[in-house]
Amino acid sequence: MKALITGSAGFIGSHLSQRLLEEGYDVVGIDNLNDYYPSFIKKKNVELCNDFSRNLDSKFNFVEGDILNQSIMEEVFDEFNFELVFHQAAQAGVRYSVENPIEPNNINVNGTLNLLETSRKNDVRLFINASSSSVYGETKYLPFDEKHPKTPKSPYGVSKLASEQYCRVFNELYDINTVSLRYFTVYGPRMRPDMAISNFVRRCLNNKSPIIYGNGKQTRDFTYIQDVTKANIELISKKEAQGEIINIGSGENISIKKLAKEIIKETNLEKEPIYSEKKKGDVKNTYADIKKAKKLINYEPKFGIKEGIKKYIDWYKKNKDWYKNNK
């Protein structure tokens, strides 16, 4: 089968491309290579997927294009005839969205709608939408189950909630099978350089204290990238999950202060964290109730935060130049 991955040059999209190629799917990736974070990192991801596919029977094709461009999307669908769509493209960043509220709406809402409509017209069998724990907002209770009130604190969270609702409506009105996965802070090799774990590790390995925004008591559920890609793969064959919205997390959480201490310990840094002013839009806690994912797709996260941090640090030490432009 052929699969389309939007945002395929990004962190999650490139890992998902590799996983699908391993599973024997022909993959077409589309990405506009925008400069929210350095585009040379995204180009490295594309090169990696191209190199990876050369040793397999499955094929990887990359298209530089924007999901907002309807003519490009129609051309891509006409040429490749997809059965599966994995929609990972988004304007990411809670803090970025606070300063730029219109952009996440344009990309995350209008882009999703454009992609859904193109998928509907082309009889796509399954549309998997990447959503976010940011839809929940402030804590009413923990852990968050899928029925927890949704009161997002950022334009990014609002845009992701809207994208979920468009998927639900298309599932109900147009008989296109959709699923939305609410990711809880995904991390791992090749992760975005602006994320907390990558920032902390980079600073610690350069003999600098990690910077914590706020008092460090806020907690996060960090989900390792391999658990996320496995959840996406499982959805392909699980018809009972179609039409659903599902949390994908680790099933545990950790305070940012404790996270920083753990990274300091693992990197043998002899310094304490530095504290700075809390950023607007940040929520106090995230923590996924994953019972629904276990029931519907046999989801069992394999990586706890301590093991995941060690794996990321090991990768970073071997790939220090990944975040550097060597051209």
The pLDDT assigned to 122 comes to 96
Q: Structurally, how many domains does the chain consist of?
A: 1
> What CATH number did the domain enclosing 114 receive?
3.40.50.720
**Distance separating alpha carbons of residues 219 and 198, to the nearest angstrom:** 17
Closest residue by Cα to residue 309 from 268, 250, 277, 263: 263
The pLDDT assigned to 167 comes to 97
**Distance separating alpha carbons of residues 257 and 42, to the nearest angstrom:** 30
Question: Is residue 160 in a domain?
Answer: yes
**Distance separating alpha carbons of residues 200 and 190, to the nearest angstrom:** 14
Amino acid, single-letter form, for residue 118? T
**Distance separating alpha carbons of residues 50 and 69, to the nearest angstrom:** 24
Radius of gyration of the chain (CA): 19
**Distance separating alpha carbons of residues 309 and 303, to the nearest angstrom:** 9
Catalytic residue among 156, 183, 187, 224: 156
Let me know how many helices (H) and strands (E) the chain has, helices first.
Answer: 12, 13
Question: Is residue 327 in a domain?
Answer: no
**Whole-structure pTM value:** 0.96
**Distance separating alpha carbons of residues 130 and 180, to the nearest angstrom:** 6
Question: Is residue 166 in a domain?
Answer: yes
The pLDDT assigned to 247 comes to 98
Read off φ and ψ for residue 115, nearest 5 degrees: -70, -40
Low-confidence spans in the chain with pLDDT less than 70: 327
State both tokens at 23.
Answer: 């599973």
Question: Is residue 256 in a domain?
Answer: no
The pLDDT assigned to 327 comes to 64
Q: How far apart are the first and last CA of the chain?
A: 36
Question: Is residue 30 in a domain?
Answer: yes
Question: Is residue 6 in a domain?
Answer: yes
Question: Is residue 265 in a domain?
Answer: no
Residue ranges making up the domain that contains 22 = 2-186+223-251+287-302
- Contact between 160 and 132 under an 8 Å Cβ cutoff? The reply is yes
**Distance separating alpha carbons of residues 315 and 189, to the nearest angstrom:** 6
Question: Is residue 266 in a domain?
Answer: no
**Distance separating alpha carbons of residues 70 and 272, to the nearest angstrom:** 50
187 is catalytic: no
